[in-house]
Amino acid sequence: MTKQMIVLNGGSSAGKSEIVRRLQAVLPEPWLAFGVDAFVDALPPAMQDSGEGIEFAPDGGVIVGPVFRRLEAAWMAGIVATVRAGVPVIVDDVFLGGAASQQRWKRALDGLDVLWVGVRCDSAVAAEREKARGDRILGMAAAQADIVHEGVVYDLVVDTTHTASELCARTIGGAV
């Protein structure tokens, strides 16, 4: 069976978004890309820093509430509907709950052929990228570097610490 979806999981500033852009360039057919950052940006401002939505702690921690989870489930269902309609999709996500986050996706993706990819990056390198970006709470990259991978099972792992996004994308593309 041909892969219908690629799920990239990694912490903040690990390099997922750049890998997605490179993947879209190297894959032989058009793949749509959806990222958790765009989902969070689509939330109403009232969902930010509320116990019901998503809260970004000063130390870079992220806490999500029940309304966030409900909206996230709808977002996932929409992506899955796109895949079931015959369009391959790449998802860039941050599994804050580690294995539990992967299980939510697995339930939504039941019956689809998915390539699970871990995107790792040394926490110090991710923290430097985070600082250079200037659009993240400092500490988020270090806080997420390892926790997002806890208990998650991958088909493939790439490490952007010393490997360029282009090579990571080609490695992933070869597995598709």
Scanning 12-122, the segments in alpha helix (DSSP H) are: 16-26, 36-42, 66-84, 99-108
Residue with tokens 């709950």: 97
Residues 6 or more apart whose CB falls under 8 angstroms from that of 126 comprise 11, 12, 13, 14, 141, 142, 145
How far is Cα 132 from Cα 13, in angstroms, rounded to an integer? Answer: 10
Q: Which residues are catalytic?
A: 37
Helices 66-84 and 99-108: crossing angle, nearest 10°?
Answer: 40
Which residues on neighbouring strands pair with residue 117, listed in sequence order?
A: 8, 156
How far is Cα 55 from Cα 1, in angstroms, rounded to an integer? Answer: 40
How far is Cα 103 from Cα 2, in angstroms, rounded to an integer? Answer: 22
How far is Cα 4 from Cα 59, in angstroms, rounded to an integer? Answer: 37
